[in-house]
Amino acid sequence: MNQQPMDPQQQAQARARVEGMKRQFEQKRAIADSLSQIKQKVGVYSGKGGVGKTTVAVNLAVTLAAEGANVGLLDVDIDCPNVVRVLNISELPTQGQDNKMVPPERFNVRVMSMGFFQENEEEAIIWRGPMVHNAINQFLQSTEWGELDYLIIDLPPGTSDAPLTIMQALDLDGFVVVTTPQQLAMIDAKRSINMIRKLHVNVLGVVENFSGAIFGSGGGEQLAADMDLNFLGRLEMRGDYLDTSKPTVLNSNTVLKEFQSIVEGMKAGLEAVEVEAD
């Protein structure tokens, strides 16, 4: 049976689809090249904002660095990039080979954040989906990390286009999901976990933040049990976090021990993923 030849409009649409596929392939390859010297990539993720995701990401990275690991911290929270403020970084990225950006270092952690490119941190970033997608891909392609044992990635919260773009662009080794004890936070966390699972990426475990007398405790542990996940630990709501001169793990041995326990659980999860892959 003879096929009808395509009309000019169909031919143009077919060419556009092929060109789009080529661009996506080239972007994926450029991102893979940029991240090729990183051993483990871990996303820190939450179902909603305000649960302390960035605080957890920063203190995880600093704890790993204090243990002697080579660590990078990537802040791709498009709407609210707060890592620069939390770490009190004044240096900007420098230009390296092939015009790539070299991250500045703070507390022995190499840091790259969308916040470096905001003229005014109080201004809202109002971008639609395609702009977010293009910005994230360009950001990932243009950073020269060098050799790292761990890259901790502070993702945008929720299940919208921005976290989906990052999950699809990065070949992540696993996620640490942050929640607070309240029921609404747990419901949102379940949504985020289900999103991760649909993309066939491993969830290393759940962290409960803001635990204590004010908001209660046990919600994170219940969430982990409901979703058949490891419970990595709870972070008590402490006055130690009021000192913002440094990440809290550098100011409080009590908080440091909490994060060291979480790091141990995270590493165990990564090792289990490697064994399963073999």
pLDDT in tens, 31-88: 778 888 999 999 999 988 889 999 999 999 999 999 999 999 999 887 778 899 899 9
pLDDT tens column, 122-138: 665 656 666 777 777 77
CA dihedral 267, 271, 273, 275 (to 10 degrees): -170
CATH homologous superfamily, domain 39-277:
P-loop containing nucleotide triphosphate hydrolases (3.40.50.300)
Query: 263, 3, 269, 25: which is closest to 152 by C-alpha?
Result: 263
Confidence grade of residue 121 (pLDDT, cut at 50, 70, 90): low
| pTM over cut 0.95 | no
The residue extents of the domains of the chain are 39-277
Alpha-carbon gap, residue 77 to 246, rounded angstroms: 21
Alpha-carbon gap, residue 57 to 86, rounded angstroms: 11
Q: Are 13 and 243 in contact (CB under 8 A)?
A: no
Residue scoring higher pLDDT (199 or 151):
151
Task: Classify residue 212 by its DSSP letter.
Answer: B
Alpha-carbon gap, residue 259 to 235, rounded angstroms: 8
